Amino acid sequence: MTPDPFSLHGRRIAVTGANTGIGRGIALAVARAGGAVVGIGRSAMDETAAEIEAAGGVFSSCRVDLSNVAAGVEALDGIMGEAPLDGLVNNAGIIRRADSTEFTEAEWDAVMDVNLKSVFFLSQAFARSCLSAGRPGRIVNIASLLSFQGGIRVPSYTAAKHGVAGITKILANEWAARDINVNAIAPGYIETNNTAALRADPDRSRAILERIPAGRWGVAEDIGAATVFLLAEASRYVHGTVLPVDGGWLAR
C-alpha cells in the first residue's frame, strides 16, 4: 500500500506562535496529521497542549521571545539538539498601527524583528541543521494578503510581509535542489482574536464578506490544512510558492 502523502506521521514540526489563532490552528492540524509539535513563542501554550494531548497527540513547548533573534535561534538549536526537526513553521508575528506620518522607528523595528528578521534566521538555523545531517526539511512561512497589497496604517507590517514573500523565494532558489522545500501561506480574513473588532463592526464585516467569493470568513483550520499539505510529501515538488488561502479575495 502506498503511504499517505498527506500524513505527517513520524515527523517533528516546530511551530512559532502556537499559543492562539492561526498558530494554534496549525499546531492542531499538524498533530491531527500525525506530527509531533514543538511550540515556540513568548506566551504560554497550555490550551494548545491540552487539546493536542487530549486527542492523543504529542506537544512540547519552548518559551522564548522571538523579538530577541539570537535567543530564538539559540532556542531552536537547542530543540534540534534534543531530536531532529523535519519542519519549521514561521507563524509568530506582531502588528503596530499608526499613520505613516506618525510611525516611529521603535514601532518599525519591533515588527521587523519578529515578522521578518526572525523568519530568516530561524530558517537559516533550521537549514544548516538539515544540510549538515543530510536530512530533508520543510519550511512554511506565514505571509499575508499584505504580501501583495498595501494596506492602511500598517507600514512595517506590510513591508515585513512583502519581505517574507521575498525570503521564501530566495531560500527556495538556494535550497530546493538540496531537498529543503521553502513555501509560504498568505491567509485571508480569518476568525481570530486579531479580527474580532472587524467582525463585530457590521459595516466593516459586511464590506469584507462582499469582497470574498467564498462568502465567509476563514477559520484557523483552513490555514492548518494548507500548512499540512506544504509539510507533507504531497507537496514535494512545490518550491518558492506563496499560497493564498483567502476564500478568493485576491481573485476578486
Distance, in Å, from the CA atom of 158 to the CA atom of 156, rounded to the nearest integer, reads 5
Average pLDDT over residues 9-28: 97
Which region, left, alpha or beta, applies to residue 214 given φ > 0 means left and ψ of -120 to 50 means alpha? alpha
Query: Which residue reads 501583495 in cell numbers?
Result: 148
189 is catalytic: no
pLDDT digit string, tens, across residues 150-203? 999 999 999 999 999 999 999 999 999 999 999 999 999 999 987 888 899 999
CA distance 133 to 230: 22
Phi, psi of 87 (to 5 degrees): -155, 155
- What does the pLDDT look like over 203-232, one tens digit per residue? 999 999 999 999 999 999 999 999 999 999
Average pLDDT, the chain: 96
**Residue 69, pLDDT above cutoff 90:** yes
pLDDT tens by residue, 112-138: 999 999 999 999 999 999 999 999 999
CA 60, 61, 63: angle at the middle one, nearest 5?
165
pLDDT of res. 1: 46
Give residue 79's pLDDT band: very low, low, confident or very high (50, 70, 90): very high
Between CA 14 and CA 61 the distance in angstroms is: 9
Domains and their CATH numbers in the chain: 12-241 (3.40.50.720)
pTM exceeding the 0.85 threshold for the entire prediction: yes
Query: What pLDDT score does 2 carry?
Result: 55
- Quote the percentage of the chain above a pLDDT of 90: 96
| Backbone Cα Rg of the chain | 17
Q: Which of 157, 189, 229, 249 is catalytic?
A: 157
Yes or no: say if 209 and 215 are a contact pair by the CB < 8 Å rule: yes
